[in-house]
Amino acid sequence: MRKIREILRLKDQGLSARQIAVSAGLARSTIAECLRRAEAAGLSAAQAQTLSEARLEDQLYPPRPRAGVSAPLPDWQRIHTELRRPGVTLQLLWEEYQALHPDGYRYSRFCDLYRAWAGRVDTVMRQTHRAGEKLVVDYAGHTASVVDRTTGELRTAQIFVAVLGASNYTYAEATWSQGLPDWLASHGRALTFFQGVPAIIVPDNLRSGVTRAHRYEPDINPAYQALADHYSVAIVPARVRRPKDKAKAEVGVQIVERWILARLRHETFFSLAALNRAMQRWLIALNARPFRKLPGSRVTAFETIDRPALRPLPATPFEYAQYKRARVHIDYHVELDRHYYSVPHALVRREVELRYTATTVEVFHRGQRVASHLRSVAQGQHTTITAHMPESHRRYAEWSPERLVRWAETIGPATAGCVSGIMARRKHPQQGMRAALGVLRLADSVGPERLEAACARAVAAGAYRYQSVASILKAGLDRPPPPAAPSSTLPLMHDHVRGADYYH
């Protein structure tokens, strides 16, 4: 605000231009220009006191008359859209405007006119969001119900909402909980829906995402941080009790509740998948709905603004991993959900850390991965890598039913039949391998001939057991009996023996 009244008052009191400049804190050239304009307008100090500030300024400093037509009005909608692109500023857009219209508005007037235009647009649209910069995520306050078809019980589903900042392109889905596995899985599906990765994800301070809320340094859940590392995205939680930090999510949640959930209130769903299919139908309609005060829709804004700026998705989706500490058993295996996975035998009785997902199990010792397995749901079974076994166990593990049968055939067909019968009578052939190996090793002590004979006798009796073959050898039943010696004893003669002549 110019100090016109004060300058004229001091001049009327007889002060010089230098003295007025010192008193008013203005340059002498400014004082001289003001006095010159007042003299030209015939304006005295007394008259200045009766005029308003605006009227006084108009008399001394009237706006310059513009020759010809008025300055062309910029396309404010285009400028508003361009401001969302990375690195674009009002200064740059004004310079481009000036290149086309050298006699157009000056920079300050250009900015004033834009802000006046932006003030007539919805509050949400007035916020400046760079293309591909932010994805704001939250859960809706409203829930949806799913009926258990067998019991009739009502289950409550939570509604996850994600909104891209620049285009307002929206994603929503139903999950059973707001727990960490559902929270992370929803993020992965949302990024797949958007077909790209933004620079920043802005969550609320949900426990699944933020372990400890803090204004300056919130603690991010380790699993949530792992997701951020996988997608190379920054997690910047909204400040506590600062809804403007996630205004996009607040409005997006409200729109999802009114545009989707309200329309589904009369429908009955018997599965979470059925609920999500119905939500997706209305979600497509929501994103295609035209804006009220801006041209286009969420889909067109996404295709032209956000999608080109999003980074590509990684080659593989993020898999939620859980961690567990375990101690290696004496059989060099660790247990997870009643299945046993091998680790190097040198780690017996050591404590290790398991990192497991739905498909893999990794074992770490002192931060270094020492084993990796495909996850199995077979309880009571073992998954073993040969390299993890001691040398003696490894040699034993190299035996197979086929190899044992080939060894038995070198001794004889009866031995091969006995070995095959031992393994065939077990539910799993491997269960009979130890007994078959014991039978074959009997040849070291009794020789292959006796073992073949003993196996022939065992096969004939249907005794397919190691103990049966060992008993036959111990009792010497494998050897043929000696031939019977001719009897030299004549039958005794007495009164009761009739003799051969009796029958003649």
End-to-end CA distance of the chain: 169
Q: Are residues 248 and 359 in the same domain?
A: no
Give the integer Cα–Cα distance in Å for 98 and 78. 15
403-411's contacts with Cβ under 8 Å and 24+ in sequence apart are 404/433, 404/436, 404/437, 404/440, 407/440, 408/436, 408/439, 408/440, 411/440, 411/443, 411/448, 411/451, 411/452
What pLDDT is recorded for position 253?
82
Q: Are residues 148 and 285 in the same domain?
A: yes
The alpha carbon torsion through 465, 470, 472, 473 (nearest 10 deg) reads 150
**Which tokens sit at 15?**
């002060």
Task: Assess if residue 487 is contained within a domain.
Answer: no
Q: Are residues 34 and 88 in the same domain?
A: no
Closest by CA to 446, choosing from 421, 415, 424, is 415
Give the integer Cα–Cα distance in Å for 196 and 131. 12
Q: Are residues 186 and 296 in the same domain?
A: yes
What pLDDT is recorded for position 212?
45
Single residue among 60, 86, 103 that ends a domain in this structure: 60
Q: Are residues 272 and 417 in the same domain?
A: no
Structural domain boundaries, residue 391: 322-395
Q: What CATH number does residue 277 fall under?
A: 3.30.420.10
What pLDDT is recorded for position 320?
82
Count of alpha carbons within 13 Å of 261, Cβ hemisphere only?
22
Q: Are residues 291 and 350 in the same domain?
A: no
* C-alpha distance from residue 359 to each of 190, 255, 319, 376 (Å): 22, 37, 9, 8
Single residue among 395, 426, 441 that ends a domain in this structure: 395
Task: Assess if residue 492 is contained within a domain.
Answer: no
Domain count, the chain: 5
Task: Assess if residue 491 is contained within a domain.
Answer: no
Single residue among 374, 395, 416 that ends a domain in this structure: 395
Residue 159, beta-bridge partner list? 174
Task: Assess if residue 98 is contained within a domain.
Answer: yes
What pLDDT is recorded for position 217?
42
For 40-61, what is each residue's pLDDT tens digit?
888 787 877 777 777 777 777 7
Helix (H) or strand (E) segment spanning residue 454: helix 448-461
* Residue 246 CB neighbour total at 10 angstroms: 23
Task: Assess if residue 66 is contained within a domain.
Answer: no
* Residue 79 CB neighbour total at 10 angstroms: 20
Question: pTM of this prediction?
Answer: 0.48
What pLDDT is recorded for position 499?
60
Task: Assess if residue 479 is contained within a domain.
Answer: no
Q: Are residues 113 and 248 in the same domain?
A: no
**Which tokens sit at 398?**
């190299």
Spans of the chain, pLDDT less than 50: 1, 67-69, 122-127, 209, 211-218, 241-243, 245
Q: Are residues 292 and 328 in the same domain?
A: no
Q: What secondary structure does DSSP assign to 41-83, as a single string? A: HT--HHHHHHS-HHHHHHHHSPPPPPPSSPPPPP-HHHHHHHT
Q: What secondary structure does DSSP assign to 334-400, as a single string? A: EEETTEEEE--GGGTT-EEEEEE-SSEEEEEETTEEEEEEE----TT-EE--GGGS-HHHHHHHT--
Q: Are residues 379 and 462 in the same domain?
A: no
Helix (H) or strand (E) segment spanning residue 147: strand 144-147
What pLDDT is recorded for position 223?
80
Task: Assess if residue 278 is contained within a domain.
Answer: yes
The whole-angstrom distance between residue 152's C-alpha and the CA centroid of its chain comes to 33
Sheet holding 382-383, edge to edge: 333-336, 339-342, 382-383
Q: Are residues 271 and 229 in the same domain?
A: yes
Give the integer Cα–Cα distance in Å for 366 and 368. 6
Instruction: Look up tokens 């039958």; give the residue.
Output: 491
458-465's contacts with Cβ under 8 Å and 24+ in sequence apart are 458/418, 459/414, 459/417, 459/418, 459/421, 464/418, 464/421, 464/422, 464/424, 464/425, 465/422, 465/435
Residue 174, beta-bridge partner list? 159
For 338-381, what is each residue's pLDDT tens digit?
899 999 989 988 999 999 887 899 999 988 999 999 998 888 88
Closest by CA to 342, choosing from 322, 359, 325, 361, is 361
In SS3 terms, 251-265 reads as HHHHHHHHHHHHHHC
CA angle 403–405–407, rounded 5-degree value: 70
Q: Are residues 388 and 412 in the same domain?
A: no
Task: Assess if residue 265 is contained within a domain.
Answer: yes
- DSSP annotation of 500: G
Q: Are residues 391 and 406 in the same domain?
A: no
